Amino acid sequence: MNVLAYDLGASSGRAVIGHLKDSKMEVEEIHRFSNDPVHVGDRLHWDILRLIHEIKQGLLITKVQKLTIKSLAIDSWAVDFGMIGQHGELIGNPYHYRDQHTDGMMEKVLAKLPMKEIFSRTGIQFLSINTLYQLASLQQAGSPLLKEGKHLLMIPDLLRYFLSGEAVHEFTNATTTQMYNPVEGQWDSTIIQRMGFQESWFGRVVQPGTHVGQLSSGIRHELGLASIPIYTAAEHDTASAVVAVPATERSFAYLICGTWSLMGTEVQEPILSDLVLELNFTNEGGAYGTYRLLKNIMGLWILQECRREWERAGLVYSFPELVQLAQQATPFYSLIDPDDLVFMPSGDMSERIRNYAVQTGQKSPEGIGAVVRCILESLALKYRYVLELTERLSGQNFQGLHMVGGGIHNTLLCQWTANAVGKPVWAGPAEGSAIGNLTVQWIAHGDFLDVWEARRVIRDSFPITIYEPEQFDMWEEAYGQFRRITCITK
Ligand code: LFR
């Protein structure tokens, strides 16, 4: 019997079939599609109807291949949402979190609601992309979305709603709104009321692995399919990826490496200390009663954007080619703080990197190899910094670092990460979010006792590459240089 996972990332989505054979997981990608955000006027939107079309395409493929599907679940990026109107239809196209309508909005919200209070109520890091600031921005603009909207659904909730007709929130993703109170175990009515939002936008929240409906009769009819039970995965893709970390010890650190890099550890309770707030870590909800004490790092987004920029100029390189050019460039020529907000929006990324270098008194990286090297070395050094903070905040000392997600195909980044953190990196599986999504469904069906049994099977089912740290002195010195340039003092 097969289970079906839809895993939607910021630049592509996939439908993955999983089944269990001889105590191993077997997964097969049956459909992959690009996820292209669309600029309309001054706004940046997700092409949500295209995504539902691709989800249906995946269903059709299961039919053509005569696959029996025991259940399906969806995971995607966090913080973004659609609004449902009184007749149950989607109002407008969901905004992309990189749309600049939230610029300056966090500061305005913090003038109404103190940072400390928001943090003690939600445990969530302060990122301008959070749903809270997106809603505040729509409110300030007098958006019809908020006037007409009856129900707010996060992206996977929304897609699941299109499939089943059931409007239900899933816990891990709900926490990323910065309006969910993990201590009370419900939406935070104080924040919602003080912001002047409608409490009715926020409905029932269920845990990952909940049976939340069936494929609607309309879709069954349209596609000529039998009924399929629909479940919640850990619908935030990062939470799904954490499920798939093949850890053997209860104490482990992870780096979920894709467009974003998310680094942290699994904890049993949110840690709401002043230091977590000061260092802007987050306590996002995880599967099975856990929390994800982690920090967002800008990640391979910066490299992806450079590649698109060069492509527009007619310079077309694959990622392996870019990595090769980086290898030939001078080590530690210039460094950036990948989390400087200047790198958040799309656009002329290599120019911003050069400006950053010059403004911080460094030599400007000229040429493609130099820019790529600067990005990858800076990311590796930032990982070291965040890993040290994770150890400090959680009171743990990690023996190594699990790297999960598509970013592990970049073997140079894996090696440099091991060098920078001075510990082994265990890289795999690459399809972490999809595997975590399937795993939550298997656990719901009773195929595994718990997540720890499943993690053992993940470890035995997918290749894990070990990178041992090298060139310690050189990276140690570079770390000092990185801290001076990026003015990290804590
Ligand atoms: C990764 C991710 C991050 C979230 C960012 C925006 O795909 O889900 O966890 O902070 O995208 O939603």
Q: What are 409-423's pLDDT values in tens digits?
A: 999 999 999 999 999
**In the structure, what pLDDT confidence band is assigned to residue 295 with cuts at 50, 70 and 90?**
very high
- Does residue 440 lie within any of the structural domains? no
Task: Give CA–CA dist 360/173, Å, rounded.
Answer: 37
Please check the confidence at residue 294 and state whether its pLDDT lies above 60: yes
Nearest CA to ligand 1 atom 11: 77
Query: Does one domain contain both 249 and 211?
Result: no
Q: pLDDT value at position 1? A: 85
The stretch 93-110 carries a mean pLDDT of 96
119 CB-near residues (< 8 Å, 6+ apart): 126, 272, 276, 277
The stretch 25-39 carries a mean pLDDT of 97
Please check the confidence at residue 489 and state whether its pLDDT lies above 80: no
Nearest CA to ligand 1 atom 2: 77
- Does residue 335 lie within any of the structural domains? yes
- Does residue 29 lie within any of the structural domains? yes
The stretch 10-19 carries a mean pLDDT of 97
Which ligand 1 atom sits closest to the C-alpha of 80?
A: 12
Task: Give CA–CA dist 96/80, Å, rounded.
Answer: 7
- Does residue 78 lie within any of the structural domains? yes
Ligand 1 centroid, distance to 21 Cα (angstroms) = 32
Nearest CA to ligand 1 atom 4: 78
What does the longest C-alpha to C-alpha distance in the chain come to?
Answer: 64
Query: Does one domain contain both 289 and 209?
Result: no
Give the full edge-to-edge strand order of the sheet including 151-154: 90-91, 81-84, 151-154
Which ligand 1 atom sits closest to the C-alpha of 129?
A: 6
**In the structure, what pLDDT confidence band is assigned to residue 146 with cuts at 50, 70 and 90?**
very high
The pLDDT tens digits of the residues spanning 116-145 come to 999 999 999 999 999 999 999 999 999 999
Regarding the beta carbon of 77 and ligand 1, being less than 6 Å apart is answered yes
**Upper half-sphere CA count for residue 79 (Cβ side, 13 Å):** 23
Regarding the beta carbon of 155 and ligand 1, being less than 6 Å apart is answered no
Last residue within a domain, chosen from 231, 262, 282: 231
The stretch 158-182 carries a mean pLDDT of 98
- Does residue 217 lie within any of the structural domains? yes
Mean pLDDT (the chain) is: 97
Query: Does one domain contain both 167 and 213?
Result: yes
Cα 153 off chain centre by: 17
- Does residue 96 lie within any of the structural domains? yes
Q: What is the ipTM of this complex?
A: 0.99
Q: pLDDT value at position 375? A: 98
Q: Which of 176, 242, 294 to mutate to test the pocket of ligand 1 (most atoms within 8 A of CB)?
A: 176
Q: pLDDT value at position 383? A: 98
Query: Does one domain contain both 13 and 128?
Result: yes
Query: Does one domain contain both 357 and 221?
Result: no
Last residue within a domain, chosen from 164, 198, 231: 231
Query: Does one domain contain both 318 and 193?
Result: no
In eight-state DSSP terms, residue 100 is: G
8 A C-beta contact, residue 238 and residue 256: yes
Which ligand 1 atom sits closest to the C-alpha of 9?
A: 7
Q: pLDDT value at position 488? A: 66
- Does residue 400 lie within any of the structural domains? yes
Query: Does one domain contain both 297 and 273?
Result: yes
Q: pLDDT value at position 487? A: 81
Query: Does one domain contain both 276 and 361?
Result: yes
Regarding the beta carbon of 334 and ligand 1, being less than 6 Å apart is answered no
Please check the confidence at residue 484 and state whether its pLDDT lies above 70: yes
Query: Does one domain contain both 281 and 221?
Result: no
Q: Which of 7, 99, 236 to mutate to test the pocket of ligand 1 (most atoms within 8 A of CB)?
A: 236
287 CB-near residues (< 8 Å, 6+ apart): 172, 207, 208, 209, 234, 239, 240, 242, 243, 436, 440, 451
Q: Which of 133, 237, 295 to mutate to test the pocket of ligand 1 (most atoms within 8 A of CB)?
A: 237
The pLDDT tens digits of the residues spanning 176-196 come to 999 999 999 999 999 999 999
Regarding the beta carbon of 238 and ligand 1, being less than 6 Å apart is answered yes
Question: What's the domain count of the chain?
Answer: 2
Tell me the residue range of the domain where 402 lies: 245-428+448-490
Which CATH number belongs to the domain containing residue 123 in this structure?
3.30.420.40
Q: Which amino acid is at 396?
A: Q
| Percentage of the chain modeled with pLDDT above 70 | 99
Q: pLDDT value at position 248? A: 93
- Does residue 237 lie within any of the structural domains? no
Query: Does one domain contain both 221 and 266?
Result: no
Active site residues: 237
Query: Does one domain contain both 94 and 56?
Result: yes
Which ligand 1 atom sits closest to the C-alpha of 284?
A: 9
| Percentage of the chain modeled with pLDDT above 90 | 99
Last residue within a domain, chosen from 201, 231, 261: 231
Task: Give CA–CA dist 283/286, Å, rounded.
Answer: 9
Which ligand 1 atom sits closest to the C-alpha of 10?
A: 7
Query: Does one domain contain both 223 and 335?
Result: no
Nearest Cα to Cα of residue 7 among 91, 72, 63, 83: 72
Regarding the beta carbon of 46 and ligand 1, being less than 6 Å apart is answered no
